[in-house]
Structure 1
Amino acid sequence: MRRTTFPLTIAAVAGMALLAGCSTSAGTGFGADSASSEPVTFICSPQEEWCQLIAAEFTKVSGIPANYVRLSGGEAVARLSATGETPEFDAWFGGGAEGHLAADEGGYVEPYVSPNADVIADEYKDADGRWTGVYVGALSFCSNTDVLDEIGADAPTSWNDLLDLKYKSNIAMAHPGTSGTAYQALWTQVEIDDGDQDEALAYFGKLHSNILQYSKSGSAPGQMAGRGEVATGIIFAQDCQKFINEGFTNLTTTFPEEGTGYEVGAVSLIKNARNPEGAKAFIDWSLTAEAQDLAATVGSYSVPTNPNAKITDDMVDFDDLNLVHADIDAAGAARNELTTRFDTEVAPAPKE
């Protein structure tokens, strides 16, 4: 099994040259003169509140109108594929980096190395600029303690715990074909099984009988657990914490002892963007500490990649977790084939 327990370096103290690399034309502090008059339209994969806030705040600080469409990771790749060489979007914000690499594989991403990427740790950015990390989140089990008591189960602390018959029809997860969260869970099993995709799919084949529902959205299983519809949802820990803070106080977060995967949520430039300069300005801004600090204000407790951004008590301490090694390039290259196999060998993707 390939895994690591390294401490993430995103909390290290960096220099104060946070915005030194930004160009300062058009009075925006971000991007070039031509960016200020044309709107930027971006795909946004995090939760709705965060998407709304970053669109509004980017416009406030840059003067560039911003619009977004919220799409999960799998939906984003599919939408980009459908539009081909005439994309609707200028940039993609959020969602796992492996999704951005899958989009790059299809020819939908234009490499862009932002001057603000200098402060981002190397493990959270692509050297060629195909994607740059804006946040990091760890997979977790988000469980309803009341339902656990009803079925006579403890909060799961391993992937194998989820196979217990006590959990029959009491687990929810998203489908990896539509959700970056679920694909991270699938790829985590690949890594735990030393790269054996057949073994990973076999695990989910066993888990299938305990799954009540495959959602399209990665965070939806946590809401299902909060409402008592299932005992456990497989989601990112920051989403479970958000639901706890919003009133689902019967939820508890646990992590698998064999190792848990982590997502590097990324931002990228769309190839043939209608407003490439505006998109670059948006990417530059999204990498600043000020932009990344916005997430926690709307209950998105992923860990920021900018070392000058604030770390709150609601964020996961990665030093406490057994993290499964994330080969992001391999995960991105395998995404289309692996999700297709999941669709045919384990469960079909949910329909509209």
Structure 2
Amino acid sequence: MSGFTRSEFGGFKLAGKILSLTAAALMASSAFASAESMDDLIAAAKKEGQLTTIALPHDWCGYGDLIEGFKKKYGIQVNELNPMAGSGDEIEAIKANKDNKGPQAPDVIDVGLSFGPSAKAEGLLMPYKVSTWDEIPDSAKDADGHWYGDYYGVLAFGTNKSVIDKAPTDWSDLTSDTYKNAVALAGDPRTANNAVMAVYAAGIAAGATGGKDAAEKGLEFFKKLNDEGNFVPVDAEAAPVAQGTTPVALNWDYNLLSMRDSMKGNPEIEVTVPKSGVVAGVYIQAISAYAPHPNAAKLWMEYLYSDEGQIGWLKGYCHPIRFNAMSKAGKIPQEVLDKLPAAENYANAVFPSLEDQTAAKTIIAEKWDSMVGANVK
């Protein structure tokens, strides 16, 4: 689940002894409306004394600092299971530990969007709405609170400035002579989600509204890019970007920003978010329906969705789901914003539904060979 290996973006992690009448009321509540009820939640969580997480490597989205911050703030121990697990592993961990209240049973999960609806349908998730619920976009949450978007990346351009002087600022720029033999996808669009979503984003920039239309227009754009000699059919990982083989990489912004930092200016990588076709890929949080520590799980959610938690994710280059609302309210420190591409472009981000993405993926996988004819390796 590190910044360079977790690629499930594209879509969006009660049980336990009732501690008191107050705690029972909290467990049934959909949100916290008062300081008094938050105090009750904190007390109930501290009585449980532990939170069990899974699939949260410390170098992913700032989770190392977030976990330490939670422990320090509330004095609750965090039991970390399998940091490198994938979303499917997290769901299986819930299933395998339904009757287990021990340390191998996760309280909370952080998974790709597609896993939310399916886990809810299987009865694996506990509904809970955090106090900042209204600032989570409707398209990125289950209406009943079983799962909700936590952070997202957007498709962006990473430019090796030692090879390309002028970084592109929009999708239409990529077809110009400036970017001959320069533009590459991070993966094969027939199989890799981030590459599929880059094609989708190009379609949105071309005026599509989503789904099949975005797929068709995106394929037309990449056909043009390939026919004009601008597209490079090489997987734009860090090495070919640094070597200049793929000097303009299309990838999630959080991956590109991590790549930029890892290269330490040799070469200089400029990351730009396009002016149009800003497409977001969302992860989601949820609480296990079998959580051994349900109150600690709820408190963890309150922490993550507070201003403090949201800024913690942003420091790890993953845009928190409340980014637009917090930005509008001036709640994001300038020093954090200074490390990101132009903030105004993020305000244009669209969050395609799971149905939209599925429809687009099918068309792109089926028609890439016949329409674009470039075998990405």
TM range (shorter): 0.5 to 0.7
User: Separation in 1 of the partners of 2:275 and 2:132?
Assistant: 33
SS in 2 for 1:56: helix
User: Separation in 2 of the partners of 1:343 and 1:140?
Assistant: 21
Contact 1:222 1:232 in 2 (8 A): no
SS in 2 for 1:92: strand
Superposed CA offset, 1:173-195 (max 9, x none): 24679876556435435644233
Matched with 1:252 is 270
User: Separation in 2 of the partners of 1:340 and 1:170?
Assistant: 23
**Greater share of strand:** 1
Contact 1:201 1:346 in 2 (8 A): no
User: Separation in 1 of the partners of 2:96 and 2:190?
Assistant: 23
Q: Identify unmatched segments of 5+ residues in structure 1.
A: 1-16, 215-220
**Aligned residue among 155, 158, 169 for 2:170:** 158
Matched with 1:66 is 79
Contact 1:58 1:285 in 2 (8 A): yes
The answer to whether residue 189 in structure 2 is matched with residue 172 in structure 1 is no
The answer to whether residue 246 in structure 2 is matched with residue 230 in structure 1 is yes
The answer to whether residue 93 in structure 2 is matched with residue 86 in structure 1 is no
Matched with 1:140 is 156
Structure 1 vs Structure 2 CA RMSD: 4.4
SS in 2 for 1:114: coil
User: Separation in 2 of the partners of 1:139 and 1:319?
Assistant: 15
Matched with 2:131 is 116
* Residue identity opposite 2:60 in structure 1: E
User: Separation in 2 of the partners of 1:275 and 1:186?
Assistant: 42
Equivalent residues in 2 for 1:209-224, closer than 5 Å: 210-213=232-235, 221=237
**Aligned residue among 324, 327, 344 for 1:319:** 344
User: Separation in 1 of the partners of 2:217 and 2:173?
Assistant: 16
Equivalent residues in 2 for 1:234-313, closer than 5 Å: 234-246=250-262, 247-248=264-265, 250-273=268-291, 275-295=293-313, 297=315, 299-300=316-317, 302=319, 305=322, 307=326, 309-311=331-333, 312=336, 313=338
Q: Identify unmatched segments of 5+ residues in structure 2.
A: 1-32, 98-104, 370-375
Superposed CA offset, 1:43-71 (max 9, x none): 34895372333233333334132315456
Distance apart, 1:231 and its partner CA: 0.8
User: Separation in 1 of the partners of 2:243 and 2:256?
Assistant: 13
Distance apart, 1:261 and its partner CA: 1.4
Distance apart, 1:325 and its partner CA: 3.5
The answer to whether residue 143 in structure 2 is matched with residue 130 in structure 1 is no
Tell me the TM-score normalised to structure 2 length: 0.62
How many residues are paired up? Answer: 311
* Residue identity opposite 1:114 in structure 2: K
SS in 1 for 2:285: strand
Distance apart, 1:145 and its partner CA: 1.6
User: Separation in 1 of the partners of 2:192 and 2:72?
Assistant: 30
SS in 1 for 2:309: helix
Superposed CA offset, 1:302-351 (max 9, x none): 35627385333224554346725334xxx22354565466556548xx9x
Superposed CA offset, 1:82-102 (max 9, x none): 66833664323375xx34545
Contact 1:139 1:237 in 2 (8 A): yes
Bigger radius of gyration: 2
Tell me the TM-score normalised to structure 1 length: 0.66
